[in-house]
Structure 1
Amino acid sequence: MATAVQATPTPAHELIYRPGELPKLRSNYGRHLDQDTVGWMRETPIDTPLPEMRRRFEEEGYIFVKNLLPRSDVLDMRRAYFEHLSPTGILAPGTDPVEGIFNPLADPVAHHGNGGRDLPEDEEKVQKLISAHTHPAYLNFLSHPTLHTFVRDFMAWKSDILIKRTLLRHNVPQGFSTGIHYDKIFLRAGEADFLTAWVPIGDCKAEGGGLMYLENSTDVGKAMEEDFNSRAKELSPEERINGFNVNMARDGQLSHDAVELTSAIQEGVHGGERMKRRWLVGDYEAGDVVFHNPYMIHGAVKNEDPNGRIRLSTDLRFYEEGSELDERWMRDVWRPGDGL
C-alpha cells in the first residue's frame, strides 16, 4: 500500500507577497500607503484540507477562501441588488446592472451604502438601502447551503446561527466607505467568540474598495479591547457594550487613516508587540469569501476602480448554536439609528 505524503505548507510570506504588482492604495483619509507597507493576502483554495485551513486561520487571524460559492449565484445576487437600487440613479445609463458601474454624473455622497454614517438625504434612497436587507434574493443568498456547510465544518460546530442584523453595503468610487476597526467593538454583549464572513458580491480588484487586513493584528485588537474595557469600568452595563461609548470614536471606528493608525501601532501607542505590519489586500472574485476573527483589524480600501465599478459586499457573523451571542444583533435587520 502506498504511503501518503503530506505536503509541507509554503511559508506565509511566500504566498502573500508579490512585490511590484500592487496598485497605489489608501483608506478614506490620508495619503496612499507606501509599497513596502502593503502585501497580498494568502489565498486558500477551497480544496485545502480543513486542518491546514484552521492552522492558517489560527496563525494569521483570517482565511481567504477562493471559489467557495458558485460564481453564478453571487452574480445573480449582485444583479438583483443593483436592479433594486437602479431607481436611485446610482448606475451609469445603458449599463448592465450586474456590472454595477457608477453613474459618473451622480453625487457619491448621495449614494453611500455604509449604513449609519452620512446617509442620503433622499428618504426614498434610504428606504432602498433598508429594504435591500429583506429582498427575497438577499434572504435566499443568506441561506446558501454551501456557505453554512463550510462554516460548520470549518468551525467543527454541530449547528450554526447567522445573526439577523447583517450588513449589505455598496461602496461607490471616491465615496466614503468602512473605516478601520475590529468587529468585537460592535458585538461586545455576547461572551462567545463569533466568526465573520466578508463576502464580496462581484469581482473587486485591490484598488476597488475591498477589505484590507492589518497583518498579524489579532494581538493588537485584543490589547485595544482590554484597554477599552479597563477604561469602561465606571460605565453602566449598557454603555460598556456600546460601540459608540465615551471611550470610542464618534462612529466606533479606530481610524479612517491607515497610514496614521499603522504608525501609532508601530510606536506602541495602541498596544501589541512592536513590529512592522503590512496592510494585506486581495483581488477578490465572485465566489470568494474571507473569514476573520473578532479582533483582526481591518477596513476598506478607498474605491478607486478605474472602470467605475461599485463594490458590493455583505458582512455576516456566525455563532455556534447554544453559545452566548449578542442578542442585540438578533432583534431585527439593519435600520438607521438602531444604535448598533
Structure 2
Amino acid sequence: MKVSMGVHQLKMEGPYLTALRESNDIREDAAALQARMEEDGYIFIRGFHDRNQVQQARSEILNQLHQSGRLAPDADPEAGLVGPDNKSAFLGGTNTDKPAFLELVNSPRVMNFFTNYLGGAAATYDYKWLRAIATGGSTDAHYDIVYMGRGTPNLYTLWTPVGDTPIEMGTLAILLGSHRWEHVRSTYGQMDVDRDRTEGSFSRDPLELIEKYGGRWATSDFEAGDAIFFGMFTMHSSTVNVTNRIRISCDTRYQLASEPVDGRWIGKKPRAHETALEAPLKTMAEAKKEWGLA
C-alpha cells in the first residue's frame, strides 16, 4: 500500500512508515498508559468514543457543510462528497451550534477517561479545533506546544476522526521518537507563535525530519469511535486526503483542572491567536537557522 504524505508516496511497513500501536489492552490501567505514553509519545485506542455518538456528530456537521456549499449539491450529505469548489473548512471555536459534536468530545466517557489517566479531575479547552478537509488537504509536521504553551505543558491533544476514515482520506500520523528530540524541544518547542510572530509548522517535508533526526512515521485506518491522543512535544502530521470525500476530524485538549490553563482557548468567546494574521511573520527557515537546526 502506498500512502501520500507531503509530495511523497510512502510504502506502509517500509523504511519511513509503519502502523500505530494499539493500547486497548491497557485502556483502564493509568500507570501502564502513562508508561506507554513515555515510550511511544501517543496512545491509540480503538472504540474510544461511542460509535453512535460519532455518527450523530458527523450527520450534524455534514448537514451544516452541505448548507454552506462545501459538499456536492446533488448528493446525499451523508456521502460527504467534496463540493465543486474543493474547499476545506476550519470550524474552530466553541461550536455551540453543534450540540451533538460537543456531546461527543465533552462526554462523561471522555472526561472520565482523562480523569483516570491524569490522576485528578480533568478539564477541557472550550475552543475546539474542528476541520473538514477537502481533496488534496493535509497537515504539516509540528509540535502543539507552540500554539498553546502558556498553561501547563502536561496538556494532551485528542485527535478524533468524525466517521470512518481510512488512510487515503487523511489520517493523523505520529513521528515515532520525536517526543525525545531534546534539541528540537529546547528550541522550536519553546516557541510561541503569537509572542514570537513565527510560523508554527516545523516542516512541510515528512522525510526531511527522518533524515535529520531519525524515527519513522506511524498511522492507521480509523473507524468511527477510534481516537489517538498525545502530548505537546510529539511531532505529528497527516496523510493527504486523496479521495473525493471530505474528511471531518477534530483536535480537543485535556489537562488537570488544577494546573494552569492557556487563557487564549477558554471562556464563552476564547480570544484564540493574537497576532497570527499580522505580518511580518518570521519563517520557520529563518527560525531554524537561529536555533542551529538548519
Task: State the TM-score, normalized to the length of structure 1.
Answer: 0.73
> Which one has the largest radius of gyration?
1
Across the aligned residues of Structure 1 and Structure 2, the Cα RMSD in angstroms comes to 2.5
Verify: 1:31 aligned to 2:8, yes or no.
yes
Contact (CA 8 Å) 1:204, 1:210: kept in 2 or not? yes
Equivalent runs, 1:16-165 vs 2, <5 Å: 22-27=1-6, 30-33=7-10, 35-45=14-24, 48-50=27-29, 51-103=31-83, 106-108=84-86, 111-113=87-89, 115=90, 129=91, 133-135=95-97, 136-157=99-120, 159-165=121-127
1:88 CA drift (Å): 2.5
Identical-pair percentage:
27
- Measured in 1, the distance between the counterparts of 2:15 and 2:109 equals 37
Task: State the TM-score, normalized to the length of structure 2.
Answer: 0.83
Once the two structures are superposed, residues 102-127 of structure 1 have per-residue CA deviations (whole angstroms, 9 ceiling, x without a partner) of 13xx122xx222x4xxxxxxxxxxxx
Find the partner of 1:242 among 172, 175, 193.
Answer: 193
Corresponding position of 1:225 = 185
Change (3 A) 1:145 1:24: same
Corresponding position of 1:261 = 209
Q: Any idea what SS the aligned residue of 1:39 has?
A: strand
Change (3 A) 1:192 1:214: closer
1:337 CA drift (Å): 6.3
- Measured in 2, the distance between the counterparts of 1:229 and 1:296 equals 10
- Give the aligned length: 272
Q: Which structure's residues are more often strand, by fraction?
A: 2
Once the two structures are superposed, residues 88-147 of structure 1 have per-residue CA deviations (whole angstroms, 9 ceiling, x without a partner) of 3222244332332213xx122xx222x4xxxxxxxxxxxxx4678222222322321111
Q: Any idea what SS the aligned residue of 1:32 has?
A: strand
Q: Which amino acid aligns with 1:293?
A: G
Once the two structures are superposed, residues 46-68 of structure 1 have per-residue CA deviations (whole angstroms, 9 ceiling, x without a partner) of 66441433322221010101101
Corresponding position of 1:170 = 132
Once the two structures are superposed, residues 310-338 of structure 1 have per-residue CA deviations (whole angstroms, 9 ceiling, x without a partner) of 11111111110110121122145578865
Q: Which amino acid aligns with 1:39?
A: T
**Any gaps of 5 or more consecutive residues in structure 2?**
277-294
Once the two structures are superposed, residues 270-315 of structure 1 have per-residue CA deviations (whole angstroms, 9 ceiling, x without a partner) of xxxxxx411101111110110101100001211113xx22111111
**Any gaps of 5 or more consecutive residues in structure 1?**
1-21, 116-128, 231-239, 266-275
Q: Any idea what SS the aligned residue of 2:8 has?
A: coil
Q: Any idea what SS the aligned residue of 2:157 has?
A: strand
Q: Any idea what SS the aligned residue of 1:198 has?
A: strand
Change (3 A) 1:79 1:37: same
Once the two structures are superposed, residues 198-227 of structure 1 have per-residue CA deviations (whole angstroms, 9 ceiling, x without a partner) of 11111111121111010111012x432312
Change (3 A) 1:146 1:59: same
- Measured in 2, the distance between the counterparts of 1:317 and 1:339 equals 21
Equivalent runs, 1:252-331 vs 2, <5 Å: 252-265=200-213, 276-305=214-243, 308-331=244-267
Q: Any idea what SS the aligned residue of 1:161 has?
A: strand
- Measured in 2, the distance between the counterparts of 1:32 and 1:54 equals 33
Contact (CA 8 Å) 1:61, 1:296: kept in 2 or not? yes
Contact (CA 8 Å) 2:264, 2:272: kept in 1 or not? no
Equivalent runs, 1:192-211 vs 2, <5 Å: 192-211=153-172
Q: Which amino acid aligns with 1:286?
A: A
